[in-house]
Amino acid sequence: MRVTIFGATGLLGKALMREWDGDEVTGLGSRDADVRSVEQVDRAIKQHRPDWIVLAAAYTDVDGCETNRALAFEVNCQGALQVVRAAAEKGSRVLFLSTDYVFDGTKTSPYEIDDPLAPQSVYGQSKAEAEVKIREVLPTCCILRTSWVFGVGGKCFPDTILRLSTTRTELDVVNDQRGCPTYTVDLARVIIQLCRKGASGTVHATNRGECAWFDFASEIVRGAGLQTLVRPTSSDQFIRPAKRPGYSVLSSASLQRNGIVMPTWQDALVRYLAERGLPC
C-alpha cells in the first residue's frame, strides 16, 4: 500500500512517520507541498500515486486562529478540500484529522459521531466546515476526530507543564474543562489500522478515560517526580482569545466498531515520559 502523509513534520505527522512500517510511506511537510497550493498538491499526488492520503496538515494554534481567521480557513478548510478533490480525481482514499472543537462543549456525556456540530472557535469552525465539504466531495473519506494531542517532538500540554515546572514552584491549571488526552504514538497506530481496514465515515479516537486539565497536569508532575504544586483554578481566571469547550469527551463507540481499543491516557502518559527519558 502506498501512503502519503500531508503534515508529516507536525507532532502527529512525526509519530506517523516513526510508527508506519510495512507500507510505502511518503511524508510531506508544508515546504514539500503546501495544501494551499493547487499546483503543489496535484504534483505531489500525481508523483506519489497514494492508495491512502493521511491529511494531518493544519493550522492548530487555536488562539492564533481567532486573530488569523483567513489563514485558518485557507489551511484547515480550503487547503484540505484541495487535497481531497485531487485525491478523488486520482482515486486515492483519504483520512482527514479533525477535532473535538467542532462541538460546543455543553454536553455532560461523551460526544457521539452524529452529534450536531456547533463550534465555538474559529479553529473549530474551520474544521467543521471542512468536514461538511469533504463529505460532499468524497463520501468515502474517513474523518477522524481526536482531542488534547500530546507527544514528543513539538509543543504540547505536557511539554509546557514540564518546562514551567523547572522555574516555578506552583502552577494554576483550569479544573473546569474536561476532555481526553491523546498520545501521538497511540493515535498514529490507530490511523495505520484504520487505513489498512479501509475505514470510512466518522471515527472518534482518543486514549481511554477522561480528565480535567488540572488532573492531567497533576499526573504529569507526579509521574515526572517533580515537586511543583499544581492548584486548580477556573477558566474565567485564564481569559484567552478562543473559547474552549467545557466538556469535549469523545465517545469510543465508533472506534470499537472498527475493532480497535486504545490504552488509557494514564498508560500513554507513562510511555510519553519514558520516551522523554524522565522517571515514571
**DSSP for 208-276, written as a single string:** BS-EEHHHHHHHHHHHTT--PEEEEE-GGGS--SSPPPSB-PBPSHHHHHTT--PPBHHHHHHHHHHHT
Whether 217 is in a domain gets the answer no
Of the listed 123, 183, 247, 272, which one is catalytic?
A: 123
Residue 115 lies in a domain: yes
Determine the pLDDT at residue 125: 98
**Residue 80 predicted with pLDDT over 80:** yes
Residue 159 lies in a domain: no
CA 206, chain centre distance (Å): 9
Rounded alpha-carbon distances, angstroms, from residue 65 to 11, 56, 81, 107: 18, 17, 18, 24
Write down the pLDDT at residue 239: 86
Instruction: With a cut of 80, say whether residue 280 has pLDDT above it.
Output: no
Query: pLDDT at position 241, please?
Result: 93
| SS3 assignment, position 180 | coil
Q: Do residues 45 and 55 lie in contact, with contact meaning Cβ atoms separated by under 8 Å?
A: no
Residue 215 one-letter amino acid: D
Q: Please state the rounded mean pLDDT for residues 119-141.
A: 98
Summarize pLDDT for 171-212 with one digit per residue, the tens.
Answer: 999 999 999 999 999 999 999 999 999 999 999 999 999 999
* pLDDT (tens digit per residue) in 248-277: 999 999 999 999 999 999 999 999 999 998
> Residue 150 pLDDT more than 90?
yes
Residue 227 located in a structural domain: no
| Relative orientation angle of helices 265-275 and 184-197, to the nearest 10 degrees | 110
Q: What is the mean pLDDT of residues 217-231?
A: 96
Name the pLDDT band for 24 (thresholds 50, 70, 90): very high
- CA-wise closest residue to 184 among 10, 1, 6, 4: 10
Residue 269: inside a domain, yes or no?
A: no
**Average pLDDT score over residue span 138-155:** 97
Active site residue 101: no
Task: Tell me what percent of the residues of the chain surpass a pLDDT of 70.
Answer: 99
**Amino acid at residue number 267:** D
Among all chains, which residue has been given the C-alpha cell 513539538?
Answer: 154
Q: Which long-range contacts (CB under 8 A, 24 or more apart) does 224-228 make?
A: 224/162, 224/165, 224/273, 224/278, 224/279, 224/280, 225/278, 225/279, 225/280, 226/162, 226/165, 227/169, 228/164, 228/165, 228/168, 228/169, 228/170, 228/171
Quote the domain boundaries for residue 70.
2-154+181-207+249-263
Q: Is the pLDDT of residue 68 over 80?
A: yes
Answer yes or no: are the C-beta atoms of 254 and 203 closer than 8 Å: yes
Residue 165 lies in a domain: no
Please state, in angstroms and rounded to a whole number, the distance separating the CA atoms of residues 34 and 37: 6
**What confidence score (pLDDT) does residue 238 get?**
84
Mean pLDDT of the chain: 97
Confirm whether 92 is domain-assigned. Answer: yes
Look at the chain and report how many structural domains it folds into.
1
Place of cell 524522565: 278
Asked whether residue 231 is domain-assigned, the answer is no
Q: What is the CATH number of the domain that holds 147?
A: 3.40.50.720
What number is the average pLDDT over the span 144-163? 97
**pLDDT score at 163:** 96
